[in-house]
Chains A and B, each alone.
Chain A
Amino acid sequence: METAVEVEDLVVHRGKRPVLHGLSCAIPRGSVTGLLGPSGSGKTTLMRAVVGVQIVKSGRVTVLGEPAGSRALRRRVGYLTQAPSVYGDLTVRENARYFASLYGLGHAEADAALAAVGLADAAHQLVGDLSGGQRSRASLACAIVGRPDLLVLDEPTVGQDPVLRDDLWARFRDLAAGGTTILVSSHVMDEANRCDRLLLIREGRLIADDTPAAVKAAAGTDDLDAAFLRLIREREGAAA
């Protein structure tokens, strides 16, 4: 399968602290890849490196055949930051229209993105007046509005109602079926089961890079949480 994102021996320091220690992985095109790991494990840092806003110490990140962050990629990569990065003093629709305009798209595309995240009815509200979950969806609408080839989503479903979370995942699957590559972080394990592939990271190191079924099989359990734990223990045992 074709590779959308290739990370080779990526080392990132934030401050004096090493966050990623020579991480390598490959993300196939048109897949939904889940990035899992505890808070502080380096998920956001890896995503920032993929979208090209992270200063890296060494290693290489190639996205859709080009170095991460290169100019041509800016129209092809959509990024949802963990904290919603939309303007609180604009309405939902004004936010979507602004981001659409940056890609040369018009009002119709902006409205379609709002409908896709279930915010059509809140289009006239100021983002600052929305609930946390709605705000995060407004941010998501702005990330998908440019119809990117690669969508990097940092915890898109946090704080969402279970029904809506299900809808969002169905949406991600639709996008992937249409050829979009999705890299999505989460720490909800039941979401991991909906991914094509999983990257498990802990303390800046990759623990597993496989399909959910293979990860579970390797750990000899049907529960991803338990599988994750077992993989960590095995590693620590091997290191000791």
Chain B
Amino acid sequence: MSARTFASTTGRIIRQLRHDRRTVALIVVVPLLLLSLIYFMFDDRGPFFDRIALVMLGIFPFIIMFLITSIAMLRERTSGTLERLFTTPVGKLDILFGYGLAFGLVAAAQAAVACGFAYWLFDLHTAGSPWLVIVIAVANAVLGVALGLLASAFARTEFQAVQFMPVVALPQILLCGLFVARDEMAGWLQAVSDVLPLSYSVEALTEVGRHADPTGTMWRDLGIVVGVIIVALALGAATLRRRTA
């Protein structure tokens, strides 16, 4: 890995996205539309909206970045560009971290716009700082990137890749405590929930919602998410092979 190839790979990925204006528009606008939907659904139920909107601010970037990354990486694998890159001085980590940073920056922009929208227009209330919400949202986005990079290794076609979204994301959303509090679930479901990273980022967001200052639980949860990101990227690196059959 070198700073130069890492930086130019990150720049290349952002440039690719920049040429795809519609995707950029979707990344920014879709969370706003969904937030609006939630707002009107829970119009007169303030605390309810606060809870759900807050969790959604963390879940959108995760889902969207998971999808975009798994397709983008699958394209690199199937179009021959990845094989071509492996004959150049670029390192595996330049590619993986390049995706992580490029989409992480996009996610930061997305989270900033969505949070601005939620706090000012929809009057979202959290005891803690909106900045912490953005930080957790970006961590979630990078988690989506890392898992997407890994998932792309198990898909041969784009049809297969999109189906990893319900497989990877949906159980995490169902079990993260949004629908049923985690301590009210059956024991085995709790055990499953305990090993899913989204459970921790949702818990971290809930902590920000309840406490004015960052809590120990929040930092621990954020640490767990970062740990999972590192493990997923390492596994992703293991699936990138210079030599293939």
Asked if A146 is an interface residue, CB under 8 A from chain B, the answer is yes
Indicate if the CB atoms of A85 and B19 lie closer than 8 Å.
Answer: no
Given contacts A87-B12, A104-B4, contact A53 B243 (CB under 8 A): yes
Tell me, in angstroms, the Cα distance from A101 to B98 when the chains sit together.
14
Closest B residue to A99 by beta carbon equals B88
Mask, B65-80, CB within 8 Å of A = 1, is 0000000000000011
Contact of B8 (CB < 8 Å), options: A14, A79, A84, A101: A101
Min Cβ gap B219→A in Å is 38
Contact of B87 (CB < 8 Å), options: A51, A87, A126: A51
Indicate if the CB atoms of A79 and B4 lie closer than 8 Å.
Answer: no
Given contacts A15-B245, A89-B20, contact A74 B12 (CB under 8 A): no
Number of cross-chain contacts by CB at 8 Å: 77
Indicate if the CB atoms of A146 and B88 lie closer than 8 Å.
Answer: yes
Contact of B81 (CB < 8 Å), options: A14, A53, A55, A87: A87
Asked if A3 is an interface residue, CB under 8 A from chain B, the answer is no
Mask, A57-79, CB within 8 Å of B = 1, is 00000000000010100110111
Min Cβ gap B17→A in Å is 8
Given contacts A75-B89, A98-B8, A102-B90, contact A126 B19 (CB under 8 A): yes
Min Cβ gap B222→A in Å is 33
Mask, A74-105, CB within 8 Å of B = 1, is 11011101011111111100100011011110
Tell me, in angstroms, the Cα distance from A78 to B89 when the chains sit together.
11
Asked if A160 is an interface residue, CB under 8 A from chain B, the answer is no
Given contacts A98-B8, A146-B88, contact A90 B16 (CB under 8 A): yes
Asked if B15 is an interface residue, CB under 8 A from chain A, the answer is yes
Indicate if the CB atoms of B20 and A74 lie closer than 8 Å.
Answer: no
Contact of A89 (CB < 8 Å), options: B16, B80, B87, B90: B16
Closest A residue to B81 by beta carbon equals A85
Closest B residue to A74 by beta carbon equals B89
Q: For window 1-44 of chain B, which residues contact chain A by CB distance below 8 Å? A: 4-5, 8-9, 11-12, 15-16, 19-20
Q: For window 84-104 of chain B, which residues contact chain A by CB distance below 8 Å? A: 84-90
Min Cβ gap B228→A in Å is 30
Contacts of A99 in B (CB 8 A): 88
Q: For window 40-60 of chain A, which residues contact chain B by CB distance below 8 Å? A: 51-55
Interface centre among B4, B20, B79, B84 (most CB of A within 10 A): B84
Given contacts A81-B80, A83-B80, contact A53 B88 (CB under 8 A): no
Contacts of B4 in A (CB 8 A): 101, 104
Q: For window 220-245 of chain B, which residues contact chain A by CB distance below 8 Å? A: 242-245
Contact of A102 (CB < 8 Å), options: B5, B80, B242: B5
Contacts of A85 in B (CB 8 A): 79-81, 83-84
Given contacts A87-B12, A98-B12, A101-B8, contact A52 B243 (CB under 8 A): yes
Q: For window 125-182 of chain A, which residues contact chain B by CB distance below 8 Å? A: 126, 142, 146
Contacts of A98 in B (CB 8 A): 8-9, 11-12
Tell me, in angstroms, the Cα distance from A52 to B79 when the chains sit together.
18
Indicate if the CB atoms of B84 and A55 lie closer than 8 Å.
Answer: no
Tell me, in angstroms, the Cα distance from A224 to B26 when the chains sit together.
56
Min Cβ gap B196→A in Å is 33
Indicate if the CB atoms of A55 and B88 lie closer than 8 Å.
Answer: no
Tell me, in angstroms, the Cα distance from A75 to B4 when the chains sit together.
14
Indicate if the CB atoms of B83 and A102 lie closer than 8 Å.
Answer: no
Contacts of A88 in B (CB 8 A): 79
Contact of B243 (CB < 8 Å), options: A54, A74, A126: A54
Q: Which B residues contact A (CB, under 8 angstroms)?
A: 4-5, 8-9, 11-12, 15-16, 19-20, 79-81, 83-90, 242-245
Q: Which A residues contact B (CB, under 8 angstroms)?
A: 13-15, 51-55, 69, 71, 74-75, 77-79, 81, 83-91, 94, 98-99, 101-104, 126, 142, 146
Q: A52-B243, A54-B244, A74-B88 are in contact. List 12 more A-B contacts (CB 8 A).
A: A14-B245, A69-B243, A71-B89, A74-B87, A85-B79, A85-B84, A87-B16, A91-B19, A98-B8, A98-B12, A102-B85, A104-B4
